[in-house]
């Protein structure tokens, strides 16, 4: 005969005790699962916040780098001057250090126009100037608005 422990004199008390013990065990298991799930959700949430924070910091750093690059490019463009007179071709470039190029029109041997895809979209181009006595291109006028018109004016002055 199987041994069993009766809590009370009534066999129903035994069933109630067994059910309540099973409920307690299942509730303890469910509580453990819930706590583990909650811990995992919190861990993923905290990790997600860490990634988001790192992404935001990384994004801010990339934005600062991009703004610095754009700012330096803008200042470089802003502090570059091209001048064409009836006698000379002049280029002055630089913010802190100045680069001054000057040559007489009589020495200019060749003019070339270079328009990249993006330059054509914005209606500008580069004029490349080759002078006598120098190997290769000596002066480049970069991102000149209406570069074709400027090249025509240079050609007309050279043919005088």
What are 83-100's pLDDT values in tens digits?
888 888 888 888 888 888
Q: For residue range 115-132, what is the model confidence (pLDDT) as tens digits?
A: 989 888 888 889 888 888
Task: Mean pLDDT check: name the lowest of 25-34, 92-101, 137-146.
Answer: 25-34
pLDDT for 123: 86
CATH code reported for the domain at 80-158: 2.30.29.30
CA distances from 137 to 9, 50, 112, 131 (A): 112, 53, 9, 8
The pLDDT score that the predictor gives to residue 34 is 60
59-82: burial string, b at 16+ Cβ within 10 Å, e else? eeeeeeeeeeeeeeeeeeeeebeb
To 5 degrees, how large is the angle CA 13–CA 19–CA 39?
145
Mean pLDDT score across all residues of the chain:
76
Assess whether pLDDT exceeds 60 at residue 142.
yes
Residues 26 and 139: their CA atoms lie apart, in Å, by: 85
CA dihedral in degrees (70, 75, 78, 82; nearest 10)?
A: -110
Mean pLDDT of 46-74: 82
- 7 has pLDDT over 50: no
Reported pTM: 0.56
Place 114 in a pLDDT band, splitting at 50, 70 and 90. very high
* In the chain, domain spans: 1-78, 80-158
């Amino acid at each position: 005969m199987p041994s069993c422990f009766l809590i009370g004199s009534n066999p129903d008390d035994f069933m109630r005790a067994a059910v309540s013990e099973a409920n307690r065990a299942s509730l303890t298991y469910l509580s453990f699962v819930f706590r583990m799930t909650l811990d995992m959700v919190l861990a993923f949430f905290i990790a997600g916040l860490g990634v988001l924070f790192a992404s935001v910091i990384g994004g801010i750093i990339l934005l600062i780098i991009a703004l610095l690059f754009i700012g330096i490019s803008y200042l470089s463009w802003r502090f570059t001057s091209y001048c064409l007179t009836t006698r000379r071709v002049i280029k002055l470039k630089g913010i802190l250090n100045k680069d001054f190029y000057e040559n007489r029109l009589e020495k200019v041997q060749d003019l070339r126009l270079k328009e990249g895809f993006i330059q054509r979209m914005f209606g500008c181009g580069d004029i490349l100037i080759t002078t006598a006595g120098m190997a290769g291109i000596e002066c480049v006028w970069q991102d000149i608005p209406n570069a074709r018109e400027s090249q025509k004016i240079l050609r007309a002055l050279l043919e005088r």
